[in-house]
Amino acid sequence: MTASIETLSASPTNVKVLTSARGVEAWHVESDVVPLIAVSFIFDGGSAHDPVDKPGVAQMLARLLDEGAGEYDSDAFQERLAARAIELSFNAGNDAIGGSLKTLVKHADEAFELLRLALVEPRFDNDAIERVRAQTIAGLRYQQNDPGVMATRRFFDEGFAGHAYGRPTSGTPESVAAITRDDLIAMHRTMIALGRVKIAVVGAIDGDNLSVLLDKVFGALPETKPLPIIPHAELQKIGSRIVVDIDVPQSVIRFGTPGIAWRDPGFIPAYVLNHIYGGGSFTSRLFQEVREKRGLAYSVGTSLVSYRAAAMTWGYTATKNERVVECLDVIAGEMARLKEEGPSDEELQKAKDYLIGSYALGFDTSTKIAHTLAQIAFEGLGVDYIARRNALVASVSQADIRDAAQRIFGDGRMLTVIAGRPTGL
């Protein structure tokens, strides 16, 4: 582990905001415990900015950035990564295109140069495009008969109808087949820009040397161009139960209510409430009531989903077709009980103790630390958030929980999508 969470939490000065000569800003944690450097970066803008008729462009772009760059075709590029045990990957979500780099210190120059090539000079060779396209379409077709994927897609299609978040981030077989090289080049020029990136670096490198490498990579990117604003969206069709007909003995269920964004002051109380309701792996009310007491499902849970322009509380489970109604009644019943009565003082304290005590587990590697710091920077929560976070959890009161329950549970209605053949709805 390159830096202990105890050190980070106690002294946020260990996370330094570094600005290079060319104006590249990064959050930096220096540690020479092991000779590694981990980098995480997030560019604002993602699948929500796909062309309306071509969802999947951002995802395909992310998959192609390391499929050849500069003078190296795909095979040569991957061979150079492998020869130095350099780990480089990219990803795309609704609001961002991100990536990570991990390298031994002795290979830092080579690793950062390969990252520069991938970001600044991707080749988008036709053979690589067609290979990635074929892989993507094959995966999408395979998923077309997966009840979980079908339920999730229908949930977003209904819950965010007419909005960018309602479109499938991976696209459809038809939309991916229509993506052109020009589409990829256009999105790359728009998204991969200097003023749109948040960077975190953790490892055995000092600020001066890091500044030089950051300038070589990110300083070579074009200046930022404005992105279209994604309009704010609320979860739609709350109160609806929608069935996706598929002949399986067990129905897959997705359900959702309004949420609270990470950037909202009410997020931490909602986070604690969600842990009590459905977020705690084995201790949550839903786990106890749905699985342990009634044997309705093997797994059940909820999480807070925070996008740039929307937030929701999202849940999942699966149960026999003939027990779907009973399962949904239990889920709604626990929601109503929490809203009306709140948790017990002991229940609230146990939730806070767990969330505080387990926080350090997310910082046991330099890669995890870099990823978390980049995400915090992306959300605009401040460089001292890690130092403040546990105190915020500890301060959550019963009144805060009641306020959060009012906001995320509302009148108790949910948007529910069931993939299967439920009986008795």
Asked if 180 and 306 sit in the same domain, the reply is no
pLDDT of residue 13: 42
Amino acid at 235: L
69 secondary structure, DSSP code: B
Residue 233, in any domain of the structure:
no
The set of residues, in sequence order, having a beta carbon less than 8 Å from that of 363 and lying 6+ positions away, is 1, 3, 4, 5, 8, 369, 372
β-bridge mates for residue 312, sequence order: 258, 305
Closest CA to 349 of 277, 278, 276: 276
Last residue of some domain: 171, 187, 220?
A: 220
Distance of alpha carbon 137 from the chain centroid: 23
Domain check: are 116 and 46 in the same one? yes
Examine the domain organization and report whether 168 and 259 are in the same domain.
no
Co-location of 61 and 110 in the same domain = yes
Vertex 417: Cα angle to 411 and 423 (nearest 5): 100
pLDDT of 361? 87
> Do residue 179 and residue 281 come from a single domain?
no
Q: Alpha-carbon torsion 274, 276, 282, 285, what sign? A: negative
Judgement on whether residues 250 and 393 belong to the same structural domain of the protein: yes
Residue at 226 is within a domain:
no
Give the mean model confidence (pLDDT) for residues 268-293. Answer: 95
The CATH number of the domain holding residue 135 is: 3.30.830.10
Q: What is the DSSP letter of 201?
A: E
The residue from 156, 185, 220 where one domain ends is 220
Residue at 404 is within a domain: yes
Domain limits at 394?
A: 241-420
Chain segment 362-417, per-residue pLDDT in tens: 888 999 999 999 999 999 999 999 999 999 999 999 999 999 999 999 999 999 99
What is the arithmetic mean of pLDDT over 296-301? 95
Number of domains present in the structure of the chain:
2
Indicate if 208 and 316 belong to the same structural domain: no
Do 150 and 49 lie in one domain? The reply is yes
User: Is the residue at 229 inside a domain?
Assistant: no
Q: How many helices (H) and strands (E) does the chain have?
A: 16, 11
Q: Is residue 225 part of a domain?
A: no
Burial of 83 (0-12, 13-18, 19+ CB in 10 A): exposed
Nearest to 80 by CA among 113, 41, 48: 113
Question: Is the four-CA dihedral 404, 408, 409, 410 of positive or negative sign?
Answer: positive
Say whether both 155 and 113 belong to one domain.
yes
What does the pLDDT look like over 65-86, one tens digit per residue?
999 999 999 999 999 999 999 9
Residue-wise pLDDT tens digits, 157-212: 999 999 999 999 999 999 999 999 999 999 999 999 999 999 999 999 999 999 99
Helix axes 345-357, 385-394, angle to 10 degrees: 160
CA distance 352 to 361: 15
From 224, 225, 201, select the one nearest 212 (Cα to Cα): 201
Q: Specify the pLDDT at position 3.
A: 40
Same domain flag for 257 and 188: no
SS3 call for 149? helix
Q: How confident is the model at residue 1 (pLDDT cuts 50, 70, 90)?
A: very low
Of 185, 178, 351, 229, residue with least CA distance to 281: 351
Residue 277 shares a structural domain with residue 408: yes
- Pairing state between β 96-104 and 250-258: unpaired
In a domain, 236, yes or no: no
Residue 412 falls inside a structural domain: yes
Please check whether residue 115 lies inside any domain of the structure.
Answer: yes
- Whole-angstrom Cα distance, residue 74 to residue 68? 4
